[in-house]
Amino acid sequence: MNTNIIFLIALCLITTSNCLSLKTKVNMSLTTTANFLQTCNKVSLEKTNILYAYCQRMDGSWRNTKLNLDECIANIDGTMKWIANGSFSLSVSECSLSSGILTCKKTKDMKGVNQVSSYNLNSSIDNTDGYLICDRINSTKRDEKPIIPVQPYVPGRLFCS
């Protein structure tokens, strides 16, 4: 966890008891562990590269969300790799999703020969307050703008009042 966040949590715990809710929100919204299947369901794939899911938010409510996997995956010589803005869907076809595993039966290698390639999306995609994000590449792209802005520390200003 970022040392600034730890400091903020400690400061809040010292200054007021109302900050326990902030600690929970910081842990859920700013730390990424990748494991979206733990808090999302109704997961599906459309057009090879659009991942849809119904994901739980920090307040316990649920929302529909989507992630363009082209922002997260590349086809490197017939193998899917986790790379920002990889646009893998331009060179793959016949893709399916099962238990978080994306499998493409036709993944072209450098010679144009189709290979079968799989990637465990659950190891790399995170649910952050109901938004799917490309966790391992620190993507901030979401289907909408983030709900909770992170404010910089300003000396003398209390965050937990």
The rounded distance, in Å, linking the Cα atoms of 88 and 82 is 10
Give me the pLDDT at residue 132, please: 93
Give me the pLDDT at residue 35, please: 86
Give me the pLDDT at residue 67, please: 95
The sign of the dihedral angle between the CA atoms of 40, 105, 118, 84 is negative
The answer to whether the CB of 9 falls within 8 A of the CB of 19 is yes
The answer to whether the CB of 145 falls within 8 A of the CB of 130 is no
Q: Where are the domains of the chain?
A: 1-31, 34-137
Residue 63 tokens read as 């929302």
Q: Which CATH class is domain 34-137?
A: mainly beta
Angle formed at CA 73 by CA 46 and CA 33, multiple of 5 degrees: 95
pLDDT in tens, the chain (161 residues): 443 444 344 444 444 444 333 333 333 433 445 789 999 999 999 999 999 999 999 999 999 999 999 999 999 999 999 988 999 999 999 999 999 999 999 999 999 999 999 999 998 899 999 999 987 554 444 443 333 334 444 455 544 44
**pTM of the predicted model, to two decimals?**
0.65
Angle formed at CA 146 by CA 47 and CA 35, multiple of 5 degrees: 60
Give me the pLDDT at residue 134, please: 86
The answer to whether the CB of 69 falls within 8 A of the CB of 89 is yes
